[in-house]
Chain A
Amino acid sequence: MYRLLAAVAASLILIFLVLPLVAVFTSLQWTQVVVNLYDPLVFSAMRLSLVTSIISVAASVLLGTPLAYILARGHFRGKRLVGALVELPMVLPPAVAGVALLLAFGRQGLVGRYLGFGLSFSTLAVILAQVFVAAPLYIRAARGSFTAVDLDLERVSLTLGVPPSRTFYRVTIPLSLPGLFGGMIMTWARAMGEFGATIMFAGNLQGVTRTLPLAIYTAMQSDFSAAMVMSALMIIVSVAVLLLARGVLRHPEWGEGSVAEH
């Protein structure tokens, strides 16, 4: 009896999760797809989304990795507070993130006021919005992977006279790679999908701030078929990334065995 109920519940949620995605593709008229893919509106949105999301991931990795390592290894007062603060943007409603970014980096914002110019309405604002909402995902994943690295392995390396920085690059990073990579994928996906903070903080202008999600929203109001084509595009890209991530994470060289070779 319970088994049957569980099966029914499992099927229901599975159908619910997949059905809307299927609907996007069954509603597509394939002749429209070709026309729309060459639409400068679709193309410029796609390019902007790719460029900004890749920069956002790079920024998250460059600036987030040290913080994640400090949070994983460091002992200092207020560590729990810092950890919680870093994760806060992850649970904030995107609209709140948008308001907060405006109040900080807008022309009359906390920082913007002293800059003499506002960062809003620029491609940089798109990137800031993406980093704000997505970087915590990377930091969280990286912190988790660093914590999971066996401290003894680092100690062995250090006692053998390998300097700490080299130990970090030759021992800690390789052992954490699967987790770091997983975090990057999640960060990238979140950055690609960023909508609420972007439209509030960065505005909505083709080629400058109109990323794919904003283009979908804008097209919904005039050209529904373009909105569908772009939605289908985003689903395909998301599935591809998910498969890629799984494939890479399963690859033996990315497993624990790889360290022995170094």
Chain B
Amino acid sequence: MACSAGYQSLQPERETLMVLAASSLTEPFEQLAEEFERRYPHVRVRLNFAGTQQLRVLLEQGLPADVVATANALHMRALGHRGLVSQPELFARNRLVLVVLRGNPAGIGGLADLTRPHRLVLAASSVPAGGYARQVLSNLEAYFGQDFSESVLKNLVSEESNVKSVLMKVVMGEADAGFVYATDVVAVSDDSLIVVPIPTPANVTADYYIARVAAEANQALARDFIDFVLSPEGREVLSSYGFE
């Protein structure tokens, strides 16, 4: 007995909180998890980032998790309908920007150039960022004419499974342009990128929802984590990465 007690004092048992979050939340959630662990030293937060649509499939296939944070309402609603999450709450907003490779061979400098032949990378339509990007392209038809969206999409060379891969393809210089979240660019300190803002009327608002995963043991702890994200300190972290 004494032996096992000694072992326990050496390695105190820590509770694990499993958090699934959209890829675009990577940087703020890493910081939030760190600060949460500082407040709750007995808790270990395990983060898993993926495209929201992947998180949804994981939960539908029964992956055990405590908290899920999505980059749109659609997938969260679908999870709610199946009774997999309870009480989703809106906790952040985000917008899209166009990122362009500086000095790209196609000579792309702004939104109007996107109809010229170049290498455009988007997230797949099922990825929230991909859906938003397509929405923005059709909104931009008000500025650049009716077939703008169609002629831009002719330059699509790859549909990525999350928004971070879109950014990587441009940062690595493989693609000329791509649509990502405004917050994704905050995390990149790379002067190889030009960030082109999208006119507000044509832009979309990405709504981020957070919810407890239903039927999980750590309900109270999950609630604590969500409360922390929604708290003024939590919001400050989120806004420091550009979330609204």
Contact = CB atoms under 8 A, between A and B. Distances in A.
Interface of A: 102, 106-108, 118, 120-121, 199, 203-206, 208-209, 217-218, 220-222, 224
Contacts of B51: 221
Interface of B: 51, 53-54, 57, 105, 119, 121, 124-127, 156-161, 169, 172-175
A133 B57 CA distance: 30
> Which 10 A-B residue pairs are closest in the complex by CB-CB distance?
A203-B158, A222-B126, A121-B157, A108-B173, A221-B53, A120-B174, A221-B126, A205-B158, A204-B159, A204-B158
B172 A205 contact: no
B60 to A, nearest CB: 8
A80 B236 CA distance: 59
18 contacts: A102-B174, A106-B173, A107-B174, A108-B172, A118-B174, A121-B174, A121-B175, A203-B160, A204-B160, A205-B157, A205-B158, A209-B158, A218-B126, A218-B161, A221-B53, A221-B54, A221-B161, A222-B125
A121 B54 CA distance: 23
Given A203-B121, A204-B124, A218 B159 contact: yes
Contacts of B159: 203-206, 218
Contacts of B125: 222
Contacts of B105: 107
A203 B173 CA distance: 13
Contacts of A222: 53, 124-126
Nearest to B156: A205
Contacts of B173: 106-108
Nearest to B51: A221
